[in-house]
Structure formats: structure tokens, C-alpha cells
Structure 1
């Protein structure tokens, strides 16, 4: 049964990940700018999800008949591989329990958020706030199902606590952390709190540790690395993923 769950989760993750590049391109804009509706070649985008490939021929007189336009943004194969691997790892850790469907179901959204944050250092409200609501509702439903290994009450408390902690850090040093990170902390805290305060603390700490190690790498690589800004959302997500893997195997 566990192997079947892993295979299903990996297939779902790969399918969802394959659709992410176009959405990431559409959402990778500066704050206040409208979402993109055209590819770099100027052709209207067909739908919100799918590969990031120009739907028409390359612009210019040299374009041959029937040619597809160039790719842009992330490659579908890469995002499918990443999302599939994340979902498979979560399924392997949590096993055939109801929370597995919630964690694996929401994981591709975190991959999408990471893509946008890496591109423009932004975590859109369009994704972070619904993700928090979906995590709370999904784990609430999972808590009612037989075989659940976590606590919905602790999940909600974990979301509130991690959100409050990031809000405090934002108020202390607004230049060092974006408000999008505060909003992302809500769903991550909900997920980590499901398995208890030990997992919550471990996952939250690892997010900071991963970010600090990358910051140290930038400093060692370049004299200007200390002043170089980098997106923190992917490290938050990586820390939460590590915590959930620990919590799932421990449960």
C-alpha cells in the first residue's frame, strides 16, 4: 500500500509540476505590475498553466512556417522532476495516512512560489493566502479521518506562532525580510505544527539555517555578497519540507 501511495503522489507531483512554468512566468512581475498575459514574443498566453513555450512562431521575417516559438522561464521537465520528487518524499514519510494527500496536494504550489521568488524576489498573495487556507482546511478534514497522525489544533497554533515570529522579524528589520515571507510562514507553520512543537521548531530552524548557509556562501564568493539580497521563500519551504519528512517518519 505504501508503494502505491508513493507512486500516485509522484505521478501527481510530476503532472502538476509540468504545468507550473507558464504560471511562474505569468506571476513573476514586480509589485504593482499586472500579471503577464503575453509571452516574450508578444503572443497571448493560452491559459494560466502549462509549459513555458511561445505558442506561436518566432517574430521576424526569418521565422519558418510551422515553427514553434522559443522556450522561456523554467523547463517543464525540471519542474515536473522537482515537484514529483517532493511529493514522493512526503508520501514515503507520511505513508498511507490522510495528511499525505494534503501535503502532497499542496507541494506543487510551494514549488511555484519558489520559482516566482527566485525570479523576482516576491511571494504573491494570490498563492500564499489561499495556500494557508487550504492547509488549514485540508488538515482539518484529515484530522477527522481515521489514521491521522497529527493534531489540527497544534497545526493552527503552529501557523499562528510561525506567522507571528516572522511578523516580529519583519517589524524589527523590514529591509531584511519581505512581508511575503510573513504570509508564507502561515501555511508552513500549519503544516509543521501538525506533527507537534518539536517538528515545528526543527522545520522553522532549518529554514533559517539553510538561508544563513546560502548567505555565507554569497559572502565567501564575492566581497559584495554581504549586501546581495536573495529570496528567502525557497529556504523556508526547504526547511519545512525537511521538518515534515522528519515528522512523517517519526509518526
Structure 2
């Protein structure tokens, strides 16, 4: 590992620490039912303020924003550093680093309340398409912008078909998330798109089967699909980045 890559990974980890500090507050604020407004107070009753908020109450300094406020920040740091180590000094790395905290928040919100808010899924999809277009204009980019756009259309379209065929099995938020992830995966080609798309679907299916076996859940039981879509997409993205760099 050369010094440039070491510095890049260290910078990505520092960015992960700063971005990860905002993740728990955003996750807590957005973890509400579809017909409810975003949370404006911490569990202790103090106001959250206008910003995303820190992982602890700014007034009393002791109350976390809900259970499990540490792991989202830690996951953000690890994902950012690992992504920088594999992608290296290529322009698309900036896009992945911007998307990682959004993905962590989406995974946490979907796991908590089984919904993927538009305020995150739509900017993620649109941001991927626009920012990867800009990255494609820079030297040393490792992917294809037309492939990214096509990947977003294909994966988003595939999940739209699944949603229309069985709307009780997933939410429309999963379709919007799939479009954004498709843009990222399609950047590195069809193989990565297929790997990431199938990976997320298989992980979600495995979790559903485990629920049926261990808890007696039926076919109508709702489950969060977003975390599994994200979990399947990230390693596939790293595979694509590694292949593009070798």
C-alpha cells in the first residue's frame, strides 16, 4: 500500500467519523410511521433543533437518540475506509463516500419502521445519476455513465415489476432505492449489476425464510428489504472497483 492510498484511506475514515456523527440523529428523526411527521424531540423531551443532530441530546448530554446510536456511526467509518482502500484515487470514490451515510440511515430507518423515506431515496437516485455523470468527465474514472443510467433503469424497473406483481411483499420505497443502487452498480458493468441485484434479493429471501422457520412468520409478514438491498450492493460495488483497477 503506497502513501497516497494510506492518506486516502485515512481521509475517508476521518470523513466517516464526521458523517457518522450525524447518522444516529438522522436515523432517529426519520424513524416514524408513514403518516407521522419527523421527530422533533429527543427521548428525554428536549428539542432536537433544526440540524440532523448529534448522537446525544445537546441539552442534557446523556440521552442517546434511541437505542443503538453507536453502531450506525461505527459502520459508516468502516464502510468509508474500506471503500477508499478498494476504489483508490478515482473520481467515483467521492460519489460512493457521499452515498454511504445516506445508505446507513436508510438501512436503520427501514429496519426500525419498515419504510424508506423519499427525502433520502429520491436524492440518492438523482444524485447518483448526476454525480457519476460528472465523475465520468474526469480522468481516471473507472466506470461508464451510460452503463450507470442503464443500470438504474434496469434494476429500478425490475423491482417495479416485483412491486406490481406482489405489492404486499415490498414497498415502493424499495423500487426507488433499487434505482439508485442500480446506477451505482451499473457504473462498473452488467456483471456487477447482476451480482449486486441478486445478492440483495437473496439476502432478503434468506432472512424471510429464517423468519418463517424461527418465528412462524407467514407470507404476508412485512419485513425490511432495504438493508438487504444495500448489503448486497456494497460488496458487489467493491468487486467492480477492484476489477476496474486491475
Post-superposition offset of 1:135: 0.8
Match of 1:105 among 98, 114, 133: 98
CA RMSD of aligned residues (A): 1.6
Query: Is 2:49 the partner of 1:46?
Result: yes
Distance in 2 (CA, whole Å) between partners of 1:148 and 1:75 is 37
Match of 1:16 among 9, 14, 19: 19
Partners of 1:19 and 1:76 within 8 A in 2: no
Match of 2:112 among 116, 119, 124: 119
Query: Is 2:168 the partner of 1:165?
Result: no
Report the CA distance shift for 1:2/1:170 in structure 2 as closer, same or farther (over 3 A).
Answer: same
Match of 2:216 in 1: 223
Unaligned 5+ residue runs, structure 2? none
Partners of 1:30 and 1:120 within 8 A in 2: yes
Post-superposition offset of 1:55: 3.7
Post-superposition offset of 1:94: 1.2
Distance in 2 (CA, whole Å) between partners of 1:133 and 1:246 is 23
Query: Is 2:83 the partner of 1:90?
Result: yes
Distance in 2 (CA, whole Å) between partners of 1:72 and 1:101 is 28
Q: TM-score scaled to structure 1, two decimals?
A: 0.91
Distance in 2 (CA, whole Å) between partners of 1:52 and 1:30 is 21
Match of 2:134 in 1: 141
Partners of 2:203 and 2:232 within 8 A in 1: yes
Q: Secondary structure at the match of 1:122?
A: coil
Alignment of 1:201-240 (within 5 A): 201-224=194-217, 227-240=220-233
Distance in 1 (CA, whole Å) between partners of 2:62 and 2:59 is 5
Q: TM-score scaled to structure 2, two decimals?
A: 0.92
Match of 1:65 in 2: none
User: Who wins on radius of gyration, i.e. which is larger?
Assistant: 1
Query: Is 2:178 the partner of 1:175?
Result: no
